[in-house]
Structure 1
Amino acid sequence: MDTTARRRKIRQTVINQTESELYNHDVYMYKDHPQHNIPLHEFEELALERLQLLRIIEEASLRGHKQFSEEWRKSINEDLAKHGLKKYMRLMRGANGKSELDVQARRADHLSHYILRLAYCRSEDLRRWFLSRELEWFKLRFIIQTPQSITQFLELNNLTYQHISTEERDQLKNDLILSTPGMSNVSCDASDIYKVNFSEVLPLVKNRRVYLHRGYAYILTSDLIVCVQSKFRASLNEALNIYSHRLSSIDDDRLNSLLTNLHNAYTGRNYIHESDKEGIDPASLDIYAKKNFPLCMSHLHHVFKSSHHLKHYSRLQYGLFLKGIGLLYEDAMEYWRQEFTKKIDNEKFDKEYSYLIRHMYGKAGGMTDYSPYSCMKIIMGSVGTGEHHGCPFKHWDSSILKQKIVEQGISSEGVNSVLEMASDGHYQIACTKYFECVHGQAPSTAINHPNQYFAESTSLAKEKEQKRS
């Protein structure tokens, strides 16, 4: 299954009374397994949209925003809007609406969570990533709930937490104010105080943010997230372990293909050059490579122009990128021919190398109009000895990467920042930081595709040229 293909639009789902009752709150513990069938195309759509949601949440943190801050939430909301994920934006409002659109949003959230359980239970690394993102998504919705909505949530999930009486609160008021950050006489009188076993709020105990008395912790409604999130973590972790032992029961090849490859799926724009638009001039590629190509493609361009040859996977990565930025088929064939025939004759080029170019442009083989490779596809690929494709931030030795970055005239602070992100495994964020250092400002969104880098770079150059004019 080609998970990089343009996604189909789901027809609006008709919600019945049973589903309205089931999906009646914006925050779920996901205890009720889906009981109805859905079409395969909707299964795939829901999976890709939730994957995109979780990646957006991760990227917001990697950009340096403090988790759960207003800035962090705003970043997530803006990215959801850019990608048309309105259903998840709706769930971030904390409104718990009753309209059909609200119910549809909660239905999609419920189903997609279970779909991704099947995809992410397959290894310890996948489980860890999925668990972290789902905990963030859970808390993000919980902390914006009103006290009334939190009470409703607790009732729906059979979670019982004991309110302390007014008399007990008055007796403990001074200790509560001294032990609870931000609490005053007024807020203490106006707040619900819960009495829970201290072991349920160990993070608060560790950070000395709670009053303890005789083995109990006295917490505000806002701190209930610590208790509830702990239960959610334990429940989801156990479920993922159970799912991992039941994977063999899925005997549908279509589902297995999607689920196995989902984490590597690209969820953004395809960057296929539109046939009605003018192509780029091959003579401009040297200038583009110097100013507007991402590091992976500028390196491939340099190697190709200096050695007049690239191995198979390097040709694919570089060739599809050029196709995506607008190098038309006839120009591409001539461009590759001119370079290759500096070392070999035309006959050998036609016999051994021209087929791949025709194939990339859908002129041979299965006649498929191939998309350029996304960052994720490049990152997850293997790179052998003597090959030049791959992601520099993952596949290059740190000393070589540093040398190439320094050659761009980036400050030592910027170089260290990029290298640190790359060494921590945040390859796309490292590329985003590299873009910022080269161009003097960050791209509109985190880099997740080489052709996105090119599009943002050339757009920025045009804006600067217009301002100068």
Structure 2
Amino acid sequence: MFKSNERKPFIDDKDLVQVTNHGALRYPHRLNFYDRPPLYDVTLEEFETCALDRLRILAEIESSAARNRSWEELKTVTNAQCLKYLPLHATSAKTVDRDAERRKDHLGHFVLRLAFCRSEDLRRRFVKAETTLFKIRYDGDDHVEREMFLSSRDFDWIPVDTAEKAEHRKELLASYQGSKIETVREQTFEAEKYYKVKWTRVPDLVEKRKVFLKRGWAYVPGKEQSSIVFAEFEANLTKALEATARALPRLDEDTRIVPILDNLSQGFLAGVPSEWIGSAEHATGDEIKAEMVDELAKKHFPLCMWTLHNSLRRDHHLKHFGRLNYGLFLKVLGLSIDEAIAFWRKSFDRMTDDKFNKEHKYNIRHSFGLEGKRANYAAKSCMQLLTSGPSEAGCPYRHYSPENLQTALLSAYSSRGLTSADLPEIMATVKAAHYHVACTRVFEMTHSTFGLKKGEGVGGGESVTHPNQYAAKSMEFYKAQQDNAEAMVVE
């Protein structure tokens, strides 16, 4: 992908599709089986950005499955994510660059293939998420454009002619699932088209007894045609990932790409690479005073930061990575440099002023970009905490034993409504390695009094991806409730 200096089109000129009033498209369909890899040059920035935006969507799909969202809820959340990160407008759209959108979709898919082909588990999870995304797009595609896409591919199905349909009418009608009203069901059956495929290609329909079987053939009604398409998409992608895995060692020497792929492959672990980068724009907007931190920790902190705060108050000390992670978290939360120095000085009240100034004050100023290379350091995201070791103040949901985790959860959140009856659900997601889902579910449970329901995450269906996101959203709920209460008093 990076070796050629010649810009090659993904589709040959003879494959260009002329769309009435809209010009020629190199990507004629919104739906894509990703049969052909991208053969054009891309920058490393585009390489990574396209993959990250697609990963946000796939990670949310997996998160939705772990949170038992219904199909309609999953479609709503996924479509919202797609509109934000990876829009794909219909071919009939006039005011957007459809080829640019589809190029990004195409490139992002193949970059993630490289990242997720490395193990059987990653391949399985990637195929499941990608197939779900394809199903959602298929369901939402324009009917005419979807038929054009189906016509453009050879799905190796055999249309059942009128005579054969009449020959097996009794059996086909018996397996036809339509209206419970017999006359209506027969009417829709008469208008239905049928296709023959090997029964092994539609095991889901066989299991649900939605097809008539004869001599190894499954007679699939037109309304179930999508099952054939979905099964072929999944089978093709599975084979392609295995082939990619065999070819991947050739990339080992490319120091530009491998670190990016390593980072992307962690995407399902933390849900999604976070947009919360620790800059001032993500702060709560109000300056936090040192004396306010104790109360904020009780009401708004995620378990990782609550644990650090609790250890600091208990031991009057934190190890290096604990101080670093917690200090950056408080900085983004809204603690100014002066308030941060005051907070840490009070926390380390068992040491002398001279020792504090020599060993800690410089590091605090350094984290604010006032010393050393004067960089504005970002607070650690969930992904960074999940992939760090327990000795580095990592994620409790991943690094704690089940017994210690349950004890910590009740200690941190019992005052916010969490009970022992809630623990089995949380621990089940932890056992399945959906750590960010567990944290998100805790947020939902502890903010139910604000009207937050299961599946809504931190609002709008969004999962927890950053400790500061968790705290900021919690503070927003609390502030909105306070504002409403004050407005009612005034009235």
Judge same fold: TM > 0.5, yes or no.
Answer: yes
CA distance in 1, matches of 2:345, 2:335: 14
* 1:184-199 matched pairs, under 5 angstroms: 184-199=185-200
CA shift for structure 1 position 103: 2.5
Give the aligned partner of residue 8 of structure 1.
none
- Paired letter, 2:483: Q
Q: Show the counterpart of 1:349.
A: 356
Aligned match of 1:71: 73
Tell me if structure 2 keeps the 8 A contact 1:24–1:98. Answer: no
Q: Name the structure 2 match of 1:366.
A: 373
Question: TM-score, with normalisation over the residues of structure 2?
Answer: 0.83
Equivalent position SS for 1:268:
coil
Change (3 A) 1:107 1:345: same
1:294 and 2:302 matched: yes
Q: Is the 8 A contact 1:282 1:331 kept in 2?
A: yes
Asked if structure 1 preserves the Cα contact closer than 8 Å seen for 2:53 and 2:86, the reply is: no
Tell me what 2:465 maps to. 448
Percent same amino acid at aligned positions?
A: 33
Distance 1:395 1:87 in 2: 37
Contact 2:291/2:343 (8 A) holds in 1? no
What CA distance in whole angstroms lies between the structure 1 residues aligned with 2:166 and 2:144? 23
CA RMSD of aligned residues (A): 2.5
- Out of 394-403 and 357-366, give the one that drifted further: 357-366
Gaps of 5+ in 1: 1-14
Residue number in structure 2 paired with 1:468: 485
Judged with a 3 Å threshold, the aligned counterparts in structure 2 of structure 1 residues 268 and 222 are, in CA distance, closer, same or farther, namely farther
Could you say which residue in structure 1 is the equivalent of 2:85?
Answer: 85
The offset of 1:452, in angstroms, is 1.0
What count of residue pairs does the alignment treat as equivalent? 442
Rounded to whole Å, the distance in 1 between the matches of 2:223 and 2:341 is 63
| Structure 2 spans left out of the alignment, 5+ residues | 1-10, 18-23, 180-184, 268-272, 487-491
Letter of the 1:75 partner, please give it: V
Question: Does 1:457 find its partner at 2:474?
Answer: yes
Which letter does structure 2 place at the counterpart of 1:113? H
1:327 Cα deviation after fit:
0.8
Tell me the equivalent position of 1:29. 33
Amino acid in structure 2 at the alignment position of 1:258? I
Shift of 1:86: 5.2
Indicate whether 1:331 and 2:339 are aligned: yes
Corresponding letter in the other structure for 2:291: A
Q: What is residue 20 of structure 2 aligned with on the other side?
A: none
SS at match of 1:219: strand
Are the counterparts in 1 of residues 54 and 86 from structure 2 also a CA contact under 8 Å?
Answer: no
Aligned to 2:436: 428
The question of whether the paired residues in 1 share the 8 Å contact of 2:276 and 2:468 is answered with: no
Q: State TM-score, norm by structure 1.
A: 0.87
Q: Deviations over 1:381-423 (max 9, x none)?
A: 1113xx6x22222111212222233343323432222122222
1:136 — aligned with what? 132
Q: Is the 8 A contact 1:60 1:76 kept in 2?
A: no
Conservation of the 8 A alpha-carbon contact between 2:287 and 2:335: yes
Q: What letter matches 1:121 in structure 2? A: C
Alignment partner of 1:48 out of 45, 48, 52:
52
The 8 Å contact of residues 154 and 160 in structure 1, kept in 2 or not, is answered as no
Counterparts of 1:459 and 1:317, CA distance in 2: 23
Question: What's the CA shift string for 1:280-336, capped at 9, x where partnerless?
Answer: 111100000001111111111111112111111111221111111011122212321
Is the Cα–Cα contact under 8 Å of residues 429 and 447 in structure 1 kept in the other structure? yes
Change (3 A) 1:35 1:301: same
The offset of 1:343, in angstroms, is 2.5
